[in-house]
Amino acid sequence: MDIVLTLLRAGLLASDLILAVLVAYLLLLTAAAFFAPRSTPQHGGTPRHRFAFLIPAHNEEQLLPEVLASLDQLDYPHALRQFFVVADNCTDRTAEVARSAGAIVYERHDQTLRGKGYALNWLVEQIATRDEIYDAVVILDADTIVSSNFLRVMDARFARGERVIQSYYAVRNAESSWSTSLRAVALIVLHFLRPQGRMVLGGSTGLKGNGMVFATDIVRRQPFTGGLTEDIEYHMELILDGERTMFAPDAVVWAEMPNTLKAADSQHARWERGRVEMVRRFVPRLLREALQRRDFMLFDAAMEQLIPPFSVLAGASAAALGAGVVLRSRPAVIIGTALIGGQAVYVLTGLAMTGASPKLYQALLYAPGLVVWKILLYLRVLFGAGPKAWVRTARN
């Protein structure tokens, strides 16, 4: 019996050490974020870069007017911006609505190659045939609004040589329900805190699928994929090719999120299944290349894929602490307590840095429910369940 107990304690401590490495890495990014600038210095000259907004839309007649109205309010010369919508396999009035709002619309009908990546590639090909030159393209989802300074920030960053830029992608309806509030908390640390830390440490911020800006030659040279997480895959290919993604914390896009866990199920399952595929495909190569090149950016990209969803990490830490108590292992209890405390510091720092509303702090009371839901979903994905192709997320 003593031998069994000793082996169980040893196994628990080994698990604790793995979790400790992951949490320590998050705390490293958290500490580095304190030293990151939160605004983009303006170059002071006349805006000169031309931007093309690419908006893939599948049956988005209800939301498109808002995103196009938001773009119309941008503080940037009209002559230096254009909005393109690809009405992708639509069965509603998406194309008509977009045209009436002033966008240039292309209608695509392809029931074989379905998904955002395919639609974007096709739209890039159509724009290339026009007698127009754009310095950069902006990828924007159809359920999004943007900050009025968005293009001013991007113009300044392109002026100083940046070629791939991720804006701060936040939740638009953050206080509509406890689940969207918790989603907002998750995206604050994932889309703001971690990228800020990476900018200080020399990493690449990653691509979040919305509010992404690319030099035009990049999207013409490197097509998007039709994968479940085309943004992550695209980022992996770019950094292996030497392109670093920069973060613009003061250029913000807000997108609507499903306001119930049930409505968000397909979206989360798609994300997590895609993440598992990215770990298998890219992490060994990233680690190998990082060692050969002695490149922190590649190592950091591998670590980002190895860190599980925060709900899963928090649930595993709580389980480790509970196991330590049951097995009466003092080292395990100490490590488990430190793990939970470290993650609390990570989350609360992100909320403080972004000036989060009290309701987001209050939503943390519902976190245990989200943790259970996310762990069950993650287990389904690991055992092969979940969507294997793109599925449109339900709208509110």
Per-residue pLDDT tens over the stretch 51-99: 999 999 999 999 899 999 999 999 999 999 999 999 999 999 999 999 9
Cβ atoms within 10 Å of 3's Cβ, excluding its own: 7
Mean pLDDT lowest among 5-9, 24-28, 81-85, 169-173: 5-9
Strands (DSSP E) along the chain, which ranges? 51-57, 81-88, 104-108, 136-139, 144-146, 164-171, 212-215, 245-255
Q: Examine the pLDDT at 284 and tell me if it is beyond 90.
A: yes
Q: Examine the pLDDT at 341 and tell me if it is beyond 70.
A: yes
What is the band of 125 on the pLDDT scale with cuts at 50, 70, 90? very high
Rounded Cα gap, residues 231 and 117, in angstroms: 9
Rounded Cα gap, residues 310 and 323, in angstroms: 20
Rounded Cα gap, residues 377 and 387, in angstroms: 12
Among the ranges 171-175, 228-232, 291-295, which has the highest mean pLDDT value? 291-295
Tokens of 220: 């013409």
Closest CA to 134 of 53, 55, 231, 56: 53
**What does the pLDDT read at residue 169?**
97
Q: Examine the pLDDT at 387 and tell me if it is beyond 60.
A: no
Find out whether 212 and 262 touch, Cβ atoms under 8 Å. no
Q: Examine the pLDDT at 271 and tell me if it is beyond 80.
A: no
Higher pLDDT, residue 381 or 70: 70
**What does the pLDDT read at residue 264?**
63
Mean pLDDT over the full length of the chain: 89
Rounded Cα gap, residues 190 and 186, in angstroms: 6
Rounded Cα gap, residues 328 and 109, in angstroms: 62
Sign of torsion over alpha carbons 261, 267, 272, 275 = negative
* CATH architecture entry for 51-278: Alpha-Beta Complex (3.90)
**What does the pLDDT read at residue 267?**
65
**What does the pLDDT read at residue 44?**
75
For the chain, where do the domains classified as CATH 3.90.550.10 start and end? 51-278
Percent of the chain with pLDDT over 90: 67
Q: Examine the pLDDT at 394 and tell me if it is beyond 80.
A: no
What is the band of 6 on the pLDDT scale with cuts at 50, 70, 90? confident
Q: Examine the pLDDT at 381 and tell me if it is beyond 90.
A: no
Rounded Cα gap, residues 171 and 396, in angstroms: 13
Distance, C-alpha 348 to centroid of its chain? 19
Rounded Cα gap, residues 353 and 192, in angstroms: 9
Find out whether 247 and 198 touch, Cβ atoms under 8 Å. yes
Q: Examine the pLDDT at 396 and tell me if it is beyond 70.
A: no
Q: Which amino acid is at 133?
A: I
Closest CA to 158 of 45, 288, 234: 45
Rounded Cα gap, residues 140 and 151, in angstroms: 13
User: pLDDT for 309-340, tens place per residue?
Assistant: 888 899 889 999 999 999 989 999 999 999 99
User: pLDDT for 297-307, tens place per residue?
Assistant: 999 999 999 99
Distance in Å from the first CA to the final CA of the chain: 55
